[in-house]
Amino acid sequence: MGGATMTTYLIRRLLQSIIVLFFVTLITLLLVHLVPGGPVVALVGVRATPQQIAYYNHLYGFDQPIWVQYWRWVSQFVQGNFGYSLKNNQSVASEIAQYLPKTLVLVALATVISLVFGIPLGIYQAVKRYTVGDYALTWVSFLGYATPTFFVGLIMIDWFSLKLPIFPSQAPQGTTVGQVLSQPAALVLPVFTFAFVEYALWSRYMRSSVMDNLVQDYVRTARAKGASERQVLWGHVFRNSLITIVTLIGLSIPTLVAGAIFVEVVFNYPGMGLAFYNAAQNVDFQTLMGFTVIATVATIVGNLAADVGYAMLDPRVRY
Amino acid sequence: MSMITPPPEGPSAGAVLDAPPNGAGTLTAVEAAELGLEPTAKPRSLLRRGWEVFAENKLALASLGGVVFMVGFCFIGPLIYSTDQVHVSLAQSLCPPGSGHPLGCDQLGYDLLGRLMTGGQTSLEVGFAAAVVSVLFGTLYGAFAGFVGGPIDAFLMRVVDAGLSIPYIMVLIILSVIFRPSTTIMIFIIAVFYWLGVARLIRGETLTLRTREYVQAVKVIGGRRSRAIIRHIVPNSIGTIIVQGTFAVADSILILAGLGFLGLGVSPPATDWGTMLSNGTNYLQSQQNYWWLIYPAGIAIIVTCISFNFIGDALRDAFETRLQRR
C-alpha cells in the first residue's frame, strides 16, 4: 500500500467523521428542543411563570434561531466548554474529568480479562468445532448475549455477596482512581460482571474468525510445507484472526458504553455511567448532552482507529 | 448485542454463488440452471427448503417451542390464571410463594405469577413491534440507497453512520426522559435506532443484487425503481431480513428490559420484565431473601432472548445452506 493512498484515505475518512459529528451534534441539540415546553421548562420546572421562562430562555439563548444556538454550542464545545450543569453546580468538563478515569479503569480491566478468556477459548472452539466442548462454550456465550448485563450483576451480588459473603456487593467508592484501585475486593464483582458480557462477544467473533481463516489457501500452503498444526495455528491463523478482534474492539465502543452504564448502576460504581444515570433521573440536560457528545466522539475515533488499524495490519487492504 | 455486527460476518449470497466450483467437470445446480439445463428435481420453494434445514436443528426446534411457550404463557395464561394487576393490595405486600400465590407477591401486593404474564405481554409486544418497524423501515431504506447508488446513496449512508456513531443507549435514555414513554412510544424509541443496522446490511445485499440480470431487466423493459426494489431486491434478501428480524426481537426485549431497569420503562400500573427486576433490586439486600422478586423475571428474559437468538442462528444456517444443497 502506497503512502499517498493511505493519506488520501485518512483525509477522506476524517472528512466523513466531521460530517457525522455535525449530524450527531445537531440531532442532540434538536432532541433537547423536543422536551415538552422547551429546554427551559425542564430546567426551571413546570410551575415557573411565563416571565421566568422568558427570562431564562433569553439568558441561555434558547430564544435565538436554532443555527445560532448550534454555532454557539459547538464553538464552546471545541474550546473545551461542554456546558454547565445547574443541577450539580459544576461544569460538565469537570464532571468528565472526575468520572471518566474511573470508568476507563473499569472498562480496561473488564476488557483485558474478557480477552484473556475469550481469545483462547474462541480458538479452542474453532479448532474443536462441533464437539461437546464447543457446544458447551457456545451455550455460555449465548447466555452472555441473552442475559441483561444488570441481571448478571444482580446474580453476582446474590451469589457471591449475600449467599456466600466473599466480596462486597458495592463497588469501591472514592473520588480518585487510586482510591478505587485500593479496594480490589470490591472491584471483583463489577469487573467480572462486565467481563462476562464482553467475553460472549469476543469468544464468538474469535471462533468465527478462526474458522474462516482455517479454510484459507495460506493454511493449506503452510500444511503442505510441513508446518505442524501448532505452527499453523499460532504462527498463521492466530495472527490473522487477531486482526478481526483488533478491529472489533474499535467498533464496540457503543456496546461498552451500554455495559458501563448498567454495571455502574447495579454496583453503584462512581463513574460516567452512574453520573449519566443520575443526570437522567434529575433531568439534567447539560450533563446528558455533554456526555453523549463525548461518547460519540469516542465512538467515531474508535471506528476510525479500527479502519486505520485494519489497513495497517492487513496489507491486502487497499484504498 | 448485534448492533455492532461487522460487515465480514457470514458469507453473502453473492459470495457463495461467485465461489469457484467444487470440482472440475461437475456442475453445481446453480451453474446447471444458468446454462439452461433441466433441473434434476422439481425445485422446492425457498421457505420450504429453509424449513427443512431448520427442522433438522433440534436446538432451533426447542427454541421455537420456548418462544411459543412464552407467548402462550403471557397471552393465554391470564385467561386461565386471572389476577388483579391494577389495584394495589398492601396487605399482601412481599408475601412469600405459597398457596394462592405460586410465586409470591411484590412490594405492592401484586401476584407475581400474574405480573410476570402482564409484564411479559408488554415486553413481547414491544419486542415484536419494534422489530417489525425497524426491519421494515431499515429494509426499504437500505434497498433504496443501495439501488439508486451515487451521491444519494452516499448521503443516506452518512446519515446511518451518524446514527450508529451515537452510543444508542445514551440517546434512548434521553428520549425516555423526554417522553415518559407509553408502550407505543417505547416501540418507536427502540426502532429509531435499530433500523440503522438493518439498513446498512440490506444496502450491502442490494449492491450485489442490483447487478443481476433479472434486476437489470426491469430497467430495460421500463419498469419503475420501486418495482425493482419491491418485487426483486426485497424478496431476494428475505433470508437476511428474517434473520435480522429474529435477532431484532431479542435485542428489543433486552433494550426494553434495560430501560425498565433504569426506571425509564412503561408507567405503572403497567409493567415489563425490566421494571419488575428494577423494583425487586430494592429488596435484594434486605435481611430476608426475596428471590421471587428477581429470578422469575430475569429467567423469563433469558429464556425468551436465548430462544430468539438460537432461532436466528438456525435460520441463518437454513438460508445459507439453501445455496449449497438443493
pTM beyond 0.80: the answer is: yes
B323 has a pLDDT exceeding 80: no
Which of B155, B157, B170 should be substituted to probe chain A, the one whose Cβ sees the most A Cβ atoms within 10 Å?
A: B170
Answer for the pair B190, B130: CB distance below 8 angstroms, yes or no. Answer: yes
pLDDT digits (tens, 9 = 90+) for A125-170: 988 888 898 989 999 999 988 899 999 999 998 888 888 888 888 8
Residue among B159, B167, B176 minimizing CB distance to A295: B167
Greatest extent of chain B over all pairs of C-alpha atoms, in Å? 80
Closest chain B C-alpha to A267 CA, distance in angstroms: 11
**Amino acid making up residue A32:** V
* Measured CA distances, B106 to A54, B99, B122, B278, B292 (Å): 45, 15, 18, 12, 8
Contacts of A285 in chain B (CB under 8 A): 174
Q: What is the pLDDT of residue A265?
A: 92
Distance CA B258, CA B249 (A): 14
Residue B34 has pLDDT above 70, yes or no: no
Q: Return the ∠ at Cα B254 (arms to B184 and A245), rounded to 5°.
A: 135
Q: Considering chain A, what is the average pLDDT of its residues?
A: 84
| Whether residue B50 has pLDDT greater than 60 | yes
Cis peptide before B269 (omega within 30 of 0): yes
Instruction: Give B324's DSSP letter.
Output: T
Q: What distance in Å separates residue A318's CA from the closest CA in chain B?
A: 16
Query: Chain A, 245-264: which have a CB under 8 Å from a chain B CB?
Result: 247-248, 251-255, 257-258, 261-262
DSSP classification of residue A91: E
- A46, A150, A196, A317: best to mutate for the B interface, most B CBs within 10 A: A150
What distance in Å separates the CA atoms of residue A164 and residue A158, rounded to the nearest whole number?
A: 8
Chain B, 270 to 299: residues with Cβ < 8 Å from chain A are 274, 277, 281, 284-285, 289, 291, 294, 298
Q: List beta partners, residue B105.
A: B111
pLDDT at A191 over 90: yes
More confident residue, A229 or A85: A229
Bigger pLDDT: B39 or A73?
A73
Its sign, for the CA torsion B173, B174, B178, B182, is: negative
- Span of A159-168, B39-48, B118-127 with lowest mean pLDDT: B39-48
How far away is chain A from the Cα of B111, in angstroms, using its nearest Cα?
21
pLDDT at B1: 41
Enclosing H/E stretch for A90: strand A90-91
Question: What is the distance, to the nearest Å, from the Cα of residue A138 to the centroid of all Cα atoms in its chain?
Answer: 24
**How far from A90 is each of A25, A84, B211, CA to CA, in Å?**
22, 6, 57
- The pLDDT value given to residue B123: 92
Q: Is the pLDDT of residue A3 over 60?
A: no
For CA atoms B73, B75, B78, B83, give the dihedral sign.
Answer: positive
Average pLDDT over residues A85-95: 81
Which residue in chain B is spatially nearest to A250 when comparing CA positions?
B4
At B3 the pLDDT is 42
Per residue in A220-260, pLDDT (tens digit) is 898 898 888 888 888 888 888 888 888 888 888 888 999 99
Lowest mean pLDDT among B35-39, B84-88, B227-231: B35-39
Q: Which residue of A has its CA nearest to B298?
A: A151
Lowest mean pLDDT among A109-123, A210-224, B71-85, B118-132: B71-85
With beta carbons under 8 A apart, name residues in chain A contacting B301: 146-148, 151
Confidence category of residue B269, pLDDT binned at 50, 70, 90: confident
Q: How far is A226 from chain B (nearest CA, A)?
A: 25
**In the prediction, which pLDDT does B24 show?**
44
* CB contact at 8 A, A176 and A92: no
Of A24, A208, A265, the CB nearest to B166: A24
Band the pLDDT of A176: cuts 50, 70, 90.
confident
Q: Does A305 touch chain B (CB under 8 A)?
A: no
Q: Which three cell numbers, joined as nine digits, stand for A196?
A: 462476562
Q: Summarize the confidence of residues B130-142 as an average pLDDT.
A: 94
The separation between CA A18 and the C-alpha centre of its own chain, rounded to angstroms, equals 20
| Partner residues linked to A85 by β-bridges | A90
C-beta pairs of A5-12 under 8 Å, 24+ apart in sequence: A5/A318, A5/A319, A6/A311, A6/A319, A8/A319, A9/A311, A9/A319, A10/A308
Q: Is A85 helix (H, G, I), strand (E, B) or coil?
A: strand
At B9, the pLDDT band (50, 70, 90 cuts) reads very low
- Amino acid type, A247: T
Instruction: Report whether pLDDT(A123) > 80.
Output: yes
Higher per-residue confidence, A10 vs B261: B261
Confidence class for position B30, pLDDT limits 50, 70, 90: low
Q: What is the pLDDT of residue B31?
A: 53
Q: Which percentage of chain B shows pLDDT scores above 90?
A: 20
Cell 422489530 sits on residue: B131
Q: Does A112 touch chain B (CB under 8 A)?
A: no
SS3 track for B218-269: HHHCCCCHHHHHHHHHHHHCHHHHHHHHHHHHHHHHHHHHHHHHCCCCCCCC
CA A286 to chain centre: 21
What is residue B68's predicted lDDT score, i.e. its pLDDT?
Answer: 92
Note whether A100 and A108 are within 8 A (CB): no
Average the pLDDT over A197-205 and give the result.
Answer: 90
- The interface pTM score, or ipTM, of the predicted complex is 0.86
Say what the pLDDT of residue B326 is.
39
Q: Kindly list the distances between the CA atom of residue B231 and the CA atoms of A24, A153, B6, B134, B273, in Å, as whole numbers in the listed order.
A: 34, 47, 28, 20, 39
pLDDT score, position B45: 67
